Structure 1
Amino acid sequence: MINYINCSIVRFEDVYNAFQMGFSDYFLKMEMPIETFQAKFFGPEGNQLDKSYIAYDDVNPVGLILGGIRNYENIRTLRCGTLCVHPDYRDQGIAKELYKYHKQIALENNCKQMFLEVMVVNNKAINFYKKLGYEIIYNLNYYRYHQGNSIDFKLDSSIKVQEITFEDVKALSVYLADIHINWQNSLDYIELLDNLTYYGVYDGTKLVGALCISLQGNIYIVWTKPSYRHKHIAASMIATATRKLNLSELSISLTNNASLINFLLKHNFKKQELAQYEMYLPL
């Protein structure tokens, strides 16, 4: 008999083991130490133990659904951080049962929507979520820039780029409110990350350009005020960051945003094969 228990009252090692076994045959390598798993999935990713459920066969963890609630784009949202089942226990209704508990959490916490990401090549999972009522809303793509041993973004000497703080970037939320930003690039997400650097461009006292980038070259936010676009501000911020951080490659993830995609392609970013769908279920 399979039992379903809230993750807040079980050993964390069982949560970790359920994840490891559930993804043991996944086409992407998901192996990681328990410390990394805890820091990543219960840190910036926003999963919460009391919003997550685990399935047991006797004392053995055989399935897991992680969940976390945030006001995502001003909508109270329950995100599914992962759903996995041990290979030997699939096609027995465990995933569907875990989802029932997941949805109940959303309803009990007055969420207005449920949300998840899924690999575009994972047709089985996509069809499973569609049967539950989820719909594909956004494409989430990944781009990478690599130019030998150095990055040749050109710095416009007339543009003064300076380091700013997360609070400066956070103040831009009023401008970002109507722009869809994927979960991993949201302000709530990056606020919990370490080793990020922020750059900005001012016109007088007004911040008209901002860049959030990691020490490894992952870009989380690159933004220019609409009336200041096509004036080399974004390129100059990236040029400054690559020189100061001594970067040899850059990466960025984003959903359907023609303006930003055109900017990336113009500057020789290459679209990667890895891609996801963002799926939503309104409540």
Structure 2
Amino acid sequence: MIHVKQLEYCSLNEVLEAWNEGFKGYVADLHMDTDAFLKRTVQEKLSPRYSHVAFDDAKPIGILVSGIKERGGIKTSWNGGTGVHPDYRDQGVGHKLVEASLKLYEQENVELATLEAVSDNDPAIHLYEKHGYIVEDHLSILQHNGQIHSTFEIRLLEKQLSPEHLSQIGWYPVKLPWQCHEDQAGEMFIRGFYKGEELIGYTVQKKQEEYGELSRIAVYQLEMNPAYQGDEPLIQAFLNQALYADKNLKRTIINVRHSNALFEPVLSLGFQEAFKQVWMLQTLNNK
């Protein structure tokens, strides 16, 4: 008999079996040992209390991991992965897991349920749509190695910002993919770029150095003031500085939204798409 229970009431061996079997044949290798699974749980701010495991009697056959937090005054949940054992796919296990998660979100007074799905994973997208999620946007992971060949004509003033500062920006995007939030685990560095007193744009990123030199950046937010999104010289100046165009390094932009006005300008700099997903949201009526 197939049933679902919260992950916090399962053994770690049951959870790992559900995860590793559930993601067999997935587009990326998600097999994990105990240390890797626990590390991801912490880094992604997932919770055993908000996650579920499906069983066929005592056999773990599926998993859905979730996190819940408040951001920008909105209590938000994130489905950080749904996987079903290959022998049990297309038998309603995924439906049971998503139903259990949405019921728990409602109990926890979640206002916005979010997730990402691989763009060509039609069965997963249809599953979530059946349960009320809609595609909000398309997301891409973009990469570029080496120098960016671009002309520097304007120099912007750079200041380091705090997460509290971001929340005070009138055009700050409150709704963002979960992994792009500035409060995720790890050392996030926020750089603001100004023309005079006016904030033109900002980035949230992680930096890595080798032998004292910057060698790699991962950009989680790349946002520009809407008032200047038609100003080509300012766009170029902002991207040049934000992405260290003059440096020979590896750059990754995480889950940039296709609706972001900077998406096409970034592609024009030679960035390549490494991975594509859909970003799906559901508003829950808990207020």
Q: TM tier, shorter chain? A: 0.7 to 0.9
Q: CA deviation at 1:122?
A: 0.8
Cα deviation code 1:81-122 (max 9, x no counterpart): 211111122233222222222121022122233222111211
Cα deviation code 1:9-62 (max 9, x no counterpart): 22233222211110012122112333222222x234332111111122344321
For structure 1, the 5+ residue unaligned runs are none
More displaced stretch, 153-162 vs 193-202: 153-162
Partner of 1:110: 109
Aligned residues: 272
Q: Quick one: distance in 2 between partners of 1:137 and 1:192?
A: 22
TM-score of the superposed pair, with normalisation by structure 2: 0.80
Q: Quick one: distance in 1 between partners of 2:269 and 2:172?
A: 23
1:211 and 1:237 in contact (8 A); partners too: no
Find 1:198's aligned residue among 162, 184, 190: 190
TM-score of the superposed pair, with normalisation by structure 1: 0.81
Partner of 2:267: 265
Partner of 2:125: 126
Matched, 1:63 2:62: yes
Give the counterpart letter for 1:281 in structure 2. Answer: Q
Partner of 1:14: 14
Q: CA deviation at 1:69?
A: 1.8
Change (3 A) 1:171 1:266: same
2:201 and 2:223 in contact (8 A); partners too: yes
Find 2:251's aligned residue among 234, 249, 252: 249
Find 1:184's aligned residue among 179, 185, 188: 179
2:141 and 2:252 in contact (8 A); partners too: no
Percent identity, aligned pairs only? 23
Change (3 A) 1:13 1:173: farther
Matched, 1:29 2:26: no
Partner of 2:239: 235
Partner of 2:212: none
Larger helix fraction of residues: 1
3-state SS in 2 of match to 1:115: strand
3-state SS in 2 of match to 1:43: helix
Q: CA RMSD in A?
A: 2.8
For structure 2, the 5+ residue unaligned runs are 208-215
3-state SS in 2 of match to 1:214: strand
2:78 and 2:178 in contact (8 A); partners too: no
Q: CA deviation at 1:174?
A: 3.8
2:52 and 2:101 in contact (8 A); partners too: yes
